[in-house]
Amino acid sequence: MADTSVHLQQQQPSRSRDLDKLLLRPGNLVGPRFEPGTELRDDLQAFAKVLVVGAGGLGCELLKDLALTGFCNLEVIDMDRIEVTNLNRQFLFRLEDVGKPKAEVAAKRVMERISGVDIVPHFCRIEDKDIEFYNDFSIIALGLDSIEARSYINNVACSFLEYDSDDNPREETIKPMVDGGTEGFKGHARVIMPGITPCFECTIWLFPPQVKFPLCTLAETPRTAAHCIEYAHLIKWDEVHRGVPFDPDNPNNMKWVYDEAVKRAELFGIPGVTYSFTQGVVKNIIPAIASTNAIISAACALETLKIATECSKTLSNYLTYNGSEGLHTKVTEFERDRDCLVCGPGIRIELDPSITLQKFMDLLEEHPKLQLSKASVTHRGKNLYMQAPPVLEEMTRSNLTLSLFNLMGKLPKDIVHVNGMTSKNDQKTSCLRKLHVVFKGVDGVADMDTAGGA
Amino acid sequence: MIKLFKVKEKQRELAENTSNGVPVKKQSAGELRLHKDISELNLPKSCTMQFPNGKDDLMNFEVLIRPDDGYYLGGTFLFSFHVSPIYPHEAPKVKCKTKVYHPNIDLEGNVCLNILREDWKPVLNINTVIYGLYHLFTEPNYEDPLNHDAAAVLRDNPKIFESNVRRAMSGGYVGQTFFPRCM
């Protein structure tokens, strides 16, 4: 027996056989800096560090795919615990795992099955981590189901981005993201290179607005099962549980809404209210399909490998997949919003450190690229001056005579956002602009963190 | 980009513990857009704003409406606004904090205003919403009822509706429901 197993091992090809086909050979579609060879494969294992955001349907697939693709340093962040309903598709979890943190179990299971892979789990909210935590990763892969969470990570990743004096992104500050998403039989995979391809905020309009029923329809003329559920959830709950917020993750709360919805439906003779449909409407859930997650995740893992190794050009830049009737995939090249407040370069302004906020605002009016009058100014969440409403104008007026440098916490350079009126073709329009303020003659301590990378 | 990752990883090892980065919370695009909306507000005298958490928290604020015309003349009505970080992709959440006898506002403070739910569009702004709320007081409408009884009275007998509104605003009962004074 022992002899045969040794024999089998010798017969088995190297674990990286398929990866080697991509990394050890030259090709026509490779990136300009691609250098095939075993060093590349070793470097991928040693130096590429990928964060997987979300350990749910997509996250489980992503962790497995990335680990099998040759990435050895992975971390995963998820705030949720495993539920029974996850088990059909979140294949890293077993019945005995129910109630345990997803990130921890997912990391453990993949490490058990794939040797040489190190996965650090983080059982917390994405907002709980310092921004610097995210800067530690080479690539961030997103397996999320909400716009809020994507928008947050996008904002963080874009905050590392810096531009040179010609408004070109400095490569060493680009934090690549690969974003996957699925809804039933449909899904998308996209590559976000902040400063080069559109960021999440540039194309937020791609997300359809959530369907919201008029409250008076719910209260007066319900016609569908969803109307009855939303009545129980939005109106009846408040009426009965004054001041107690509804918790969608509390099964008792959900059961209460379901029972009320059933009563309502009976009253109006409407069929179709079930417990799972109640959950679906209240939590805005679309049934997840395991195969869609697998397909989208595979596309994301491949893009992650392509970004890291340049063994091929990356997806440019948004893939949609539709498996509901037959199969349809399409790649669309979306364009950046040059004025994007999140990933755009902003307008660079050099200032004397002695300038007051009032003088700064006068300068905005004269600035050829801005010609911005009636400016309101905000810096890192502090409202330095507000034109309206009167109560805020009064609260911020005293800042006008103070030095902008001091108001900005004596930073040698930073981003400031201004809005006001600008004239375009003799027409006054309101606008919101990102400014890159640099104070002349102040030692650039802030330069240290990026200058070394150049 | 692996070469770059390599360089950065080596630097990180060298520069361990020398990080001078003060972690800063970034403003979301939603906050910035809201900042613009608020700084451009152009409200009638009958609408005033309050910022209970100070000048730097614009995401949670209150609006006081004192209708200068119609059934609700002389009353003061407080609305709370909660704005999401993905504003304006999502409408602000608005509640009426003053208990009011009104066909389009229920006793829990839910407001039936189309632009707050089904007709919200990202091109709308806080100014439009406040005007919409103001409009509900000058022209309450019985066709979109949230308070069924009030709507029926307004439709069938505007005189009685008027006196019910007066009674509620001065602090008193309409039917079984007590309304605290709000004048």
- Does the structure show a pLDDT above 60 at B46? yes
Q: Which residue, among A216, A230, A364, A383, would best test binding to B if mutated, counting the most B CBs under 10 Å from its CB?
A: A216
Query: Is A341 inside a domain boundary?
Result: no
Query: Is A342 inside a domain boundary?
Result: no
Residue A357 shares a structural domain with residue A406: yes
For residues A132-159, give the mean pLDDT: 94
Q: How far apart are CA B178 and CA B183, in angstroms?
A: 15
Residue A98 shares a structural domain with residue A122: yes
Q: Which CATH number fits domain B27-177: 3.10.110.10, 1.10.1660.10, 2.40.50.140, 3.40.50.20?
A: 3.10.110.10
Is B8 an interface residue toward A (CB < 8 Å)? yes
Among A209, A168, A54, A215, smallest CA distance to B110 is for A215
Tell which of A270, A297, A332 closes a domain.
Answer: A332
- Partner B, chain A 116-145, Cβ-Cβ below 8 Å: 130-132, 136, 138
Residues 6+ positions from A376 with CB-CB distance below 8 Å: A383, A385, A386, A387, A388, A418, A419, A420, B35, B36, B39, B40
Cα–Cα distances in Å, from B117 out to A215, A233, B107, B122? 8, 15, 19, 12
Residue A269 shares a structural domain with residue A192: no
pLDDT-derived band at A446 (thresholds 50, 70, 90) equals very low
Residue A161 shares a structural domain with residue A303: yes
For residues B159-163, give the mean pLDDT: 96
CATH code of the domain covering residue A424: 3.10.290.20
Number of domains in chain A: 3
Q: How far apart are CA B135 and CA B127, in angstroms?
A: 12
pLDDT at B142: 93
For residues B65-70, give the mean pLDDT: 95
Task: Report the range out of A21-35, A178-192, A336-350, A425-439 with the highest average pLDDT.
Answer: A178-192
Residue A200 shares a structural domain with residue A273: no
For residues A104-123, give the mean pLDDT: 96
Q: How far apart are CA A262 and CA A276, in angstroms?
A: 13
Is A356 an interface residue toward B (CB < 8 Å)? no
Residue A312 shares a structural domain with residue A219: no
Residues in chain A within 8 Å Cβ distance of B110? 215, 234-235, 238
Residue A391 shares a structural domain with residue A424: yes
pLDDT digits (tens, 9 = 90+) for A254-284: 999 999 999 999 999 999 999 999 998 998 8
Subunit contact B5:A155, Cβ cutoff 8 A: no
Active site (annotated) includes residue A431: no
- Does the structure show a pLDDT above 90 at A450? no
Q: How distant is the Cα of A336 from the closest Cα of chain B, in angstroms? A: 15
pLDDT-derived band at B20 (thresholds 50, 70, 90) equals very low
pLDDT digits (tens, 9 = 90+) for A286-327: 788 999 999 999 999 999 999 999 999 999 999 999 999 999
Query: Is A338 inside a domain boundary?
Result: no
Among A431, A371, A452, A450, smallest CA distance to A162 is for A450
In our burial notation (b when 16+ CB lie closer than 10 A, e otherwise), range A14-31 reads eebeebbebbeeeeeebb
What is chain B's length?
183
pLDDT-derived band at A7 (thresholds 50, 70, 90) equals low
Name the token pair of A311.
Answer: 């063994």
Residue A46 shares a structural domain with residue A177: yes
Subunit contact A381:B8, Cβ cutoff 8 A: no
Residue A131 shares a structural domain with residue A260: no
pLDDT at A206: 85
pLDDT at A454: 33
| Pairing state between β B172-174 and B93-96 | unpaired
Q: Given B39, B89, B114, which is nearest A386 (Cβ)? A: B39
Q: How distant is the Cα of B58 from the closest Cα of chain A, in angstroms? A: 9
Residue A298 shares a structural domain with residue A390: no
Residues in chain A within 8 Å Cβ distance of B112? 214-216, 219
Q: How far apart are CA A191 and CA A177, in angstroms?
A: 6
Subunit contact A310:B2, Cβ cutoff 8 A: yes
| Pairing state between β A413-424 and A372-379 | antiparallel
Residue A278 shares a structural domain with residue A138: no
DSSP structure class, residue A284:
T
pLDDT at A8: 54
pLDDT at A209: 78
- Does the structure show a pLDDT above 70 at B175? yes
The rounded mean pLDDT for chain A is 91
Residue A87: half-sphere exposure toward Cβ, Cα within 13 Å:
11
pLDDT-derived band at A372 (thresholds 50, 70, 90) equals very high
Q: Residue A141 belongs to what H/E stretch?
A: strand A139-143
**Domain of A250?**
215-283
DSSP structure class, residue A288:
B
For residues A389-398, give the mean pLDDT: 95
Instruction: Identify the weakest region by mean pLDDT among A45-54, A419-428, B166-175.
Output: A419-428
Return the residue matching tokens 């019910």. B164
Q: Given B25, B85, B118, which is nearest A213 (Cβ)? A: B118
pLDDT at B81: 98
Helix, strand or coil for residue A209? coil
Q: Which residue is catalytic, options A216, A300, A340, A343?
A: A216
Q: Given A48, A210, A239, which is nearest B2 (Cβ)? A: A48
Is B73 an interface residue toward A (CB < 8 Å)? no
Contact in structure between A122 and A129 (CB atoms under 8 Å): yes
CATH code of the domain covering residue A301: 3.40.50.720
Residue A94 shares a structural domain with residue A230: no
- Does the structure show a pLDDT above 50 at A1? no
In our burial notation (b when 16+ CB lie closer than 10 A, e otherwise), range B153-179 reads bbeeeeeebeebbbebbeeeebeeeeb
